[in-house]
A and B are shown apart, each in its own frame.
Chain A
Amino acid sequence: MKNALKPVVVALACTAAAAGAPFAAQAQDKVIRVGVLMPISGPGSYFGVMGKEGIELALERVAKTDLNGHRLQVQFEDSACSPLQATNTVKRILEQFRPHIVIGEECSDASLAIAPILEQAKVVQLNAGSVTMKLTESGYKYVFRIFPNAEQQSLPLAKVAYEKLGARTAVILHEKTNAGNDNADGFEKPFVKLGGKVLAKIDFGRDVNDFTAIATRIASLGKVDVLPTFALEGQQVRLSQALAQARVVKGGGGNAVQMGSIWLPWGYDQKAGPASIGYVRIVQFDPTEKRNIVQDFIKAFKAKYGADKTPTHINAHAYDTILLVAEAVRRGAKDSESIREQFSKLKNFEVTTGRITFDRKGQNSDLSVVHFVETQKDFSWKGMSWR
């Protein structure tokens, strides 16, 4: 009997010690609690998995730096891209974890759903993935977004299309989501205002696999100069290939120039093949950028996740959120209010996706890093000097 009890006692003692350890550690460091709401289940996990990778890498690296005697403690919750789940998990995390700041979400609907709750709880919401204008146009004081919103993404596309590419007709293709709609509208309005004509605005659900019918339809619309497309990489590959087959776009022997925003990660061009040649888009996170912070990030990413994996902008944006929190803490923030203060005061803070200066609405208005690239015949990017 006694022999059987001994391991049990040891186990209990170890558990007690382990349980006590965090308290002991907390007595020494001061903790900044960061809640993270990401879609980890369901199809939205496309964003969540990459977001988590970026955040976890950033946490490792930031832990090695001096944070004013603080340390970051992170809790992830699965908000599944849905307003219901996001609302539930944000309430849960506010209660059980009491974060000083919440990073989230990726999908616009979910981000909008949690904004009023975080606003009321006076907890900063740092968004690194949603496009909807409403997030920063609704007057929230605690919302900060480093991801470019729909207008910031699409306006340059419209201007370059009209002024630099000489386009007068466009067909807009977009996924049927909040983000897709907003980006499409963000292109249409300025393009039409400049004098262009939108021949068609074609939307498709995220469950569409085949685009040959859509490509054929576009081919029947007459002379199309530009094709702005807003879809995720999986669908975009199929879409580009179909457009090339239908001889609509430059990559397939046609005339139209495909245009896009920051949605597509590095590697899309290789996957789509010849269909992607001539694709003009804006990029924010550019793995070929020479800035040290970018190259360091890529090296660390490959070291942690595999040498054949190049980080995407989703990884990068998530990574940057932790850099921001860490910087705020270094400058003296120790709770939600002071984090909010520090964010408001930030000027030109360098991150992998560029520089951060938040405007009065909480939107990062520094787009200096954003530049146009055109896909070359060897699928590499050629930087264009348009603005």
Chain B
Amino acid sequence: MTSRRVAIGVAILAIAAAPWLLGTPYWRGILVLGAMNVLLALSLNLVIGYTGQLNLGQSAFFGIGAYVSTILIKTYGWNFWLAGLAAVLAAGLLGLALAAFAVRLRGHYLAIASLGFAVITYQVLLNWEDVTEGVRGIYGILPPVPSTAGLFYVVAGIALAVYLLLDNLIRSPIGDTLRAIREDEVSAASLGINRAVWKAFAFGLGAAIAGLAGVFYPGFVGTLVPDAFGIIESFTMMAMVIVGGMGTMIGPVIGAIVLTFLPELLRGFGELRLMIYGLALMLVVLFMPGGMVQAWNALRRRMS
């Protein structure tokens, strides 16, 4: 227990210090992005890593969070936090809708269904121009906190809170239930686990968290266009979870941070950047399927 408290303390210190260690607007911006990605990776990991549901459509909930909150603020004059809450609820509800598919489908079928879900959501955002402005985009969106460092504190703080929430969840009997569903659904059913309810729970909560990340996105960029929420986003989130270490709590956090900073550090490579990215993805999956967490554990074992 105490080592956990120490870890939390270290995390809080790291969050507090980060905007000062990386003190320029550009790097602080990347920190904000990193915090958002941590939220996204945690949300996806809940569904894929702990509940074993193949979800390729997480970008849909990210997008709903962004659009619902922005539209409520810009068109209806809502307050940022209320709009954010409504957006999170909307994303969660949509997650329940996807869960309805998860109840009936497994494996690759669910994967493609979730992909289809993401495509449909993207198409709605794109085509319902009266409401979302579609490709024209929404401009002049203000962040809830004027300074970038402040925004980082807010998002990172929320990410930490979500992490602790999920961590407690996973350690509780709920976590066991989800893991049972992941390992063997049929056996889980025979143990009396109501898979439908728990899948709905996982998808709904995962979607809500992704929506939460989405709430902060438009204010950070200042501009909102549907293109930010295509299926490429889903794959990026997936990559973060896998590279970090799927099915662990700290894995997605590491994966999110690495895959946020790596592209920025690779900028010097120009055109090779994305090729390196694809290659890295392949190599991690092939040689380090447990991600960086697995590599770290293997390293520790070798040293002890």
Contact = CB atoms under 8 A, between A and B. Distances in A.
Interface of A: 40-42, 76-78, 82-84, 87-89, 91-92, 94-96, 109, 112-113, 116, 134, 176-178, 180-181
Contact of B135 (A82, A88, A89, A181): A181
Given A78-B273, A176-B126, A181-B135, A83 B29 contact: no
A76 B267 CA distance: 10
Interface string B225-260: 101100000000000000000000000000000000
Contact of A40 (B25, B136, B222, B270): B270
B139 interface: yes
Nearest to A80: B274
A40 B274 CA distance: 11
B271 interface: yes
A88 B26 contact: yes
Question: How many B residues touch the partner, as a band?
Answer: 20 to 34
Contacts of B25: 91, 94-95
B116 interface: no
A297 B58 CA distance: 49
Given A84-B228, A181-B136, A78 B267 contact: yes
Contacts of A42: 274
Nearest to B28: A91
B183 interface: no
Q: 5 closest A-B pairs (Cβ-Cβ)?
A: A91-B26, A83-B223, A113-B223, A92-B26, A95-B26
A91 B267 CA distance: 14
B137 interface: yes
Contacts of B274: 41-42
Contacts of B225: 82-83, 109
Contact of B30 (A88, A96, A176, A178): A88
Contact of A41 (B137, B228, B264, B273): B273
B144 to A, nearest CB: 17
B223 A95 contact: no
Given A41-B271, A83-B228, A109-B137, 14 more contacts: A78-B273, A83-B137, A87-B29, A87-B222, A88-B30, A89-B267, A91-B25, A91-B26, A95-B25, A95-B26, A112-B137, A113-B222, A116-B222, A178-B135
B271 A83 contact: no
B98 to A, nearest CB: 24
Nearest to B139: A112
B221 A113 contact: yes
Interface string B117-150: 0000000001000000011110110000000000
Nearest to B140: A116
Contacts of B228: 82-84
Nearest to B30: A88
A304 to B, nearest CB: 19
B24 interface: yes
Contacts of B30: 88
A50 B30 CA distance: 29
Given A78-B273, A94-B26, A84 B137 contact: no
Contacts of B126: 176
Contacts of A77: 267
Contacts of B273: 41, 78
B264 A88 contact: yes
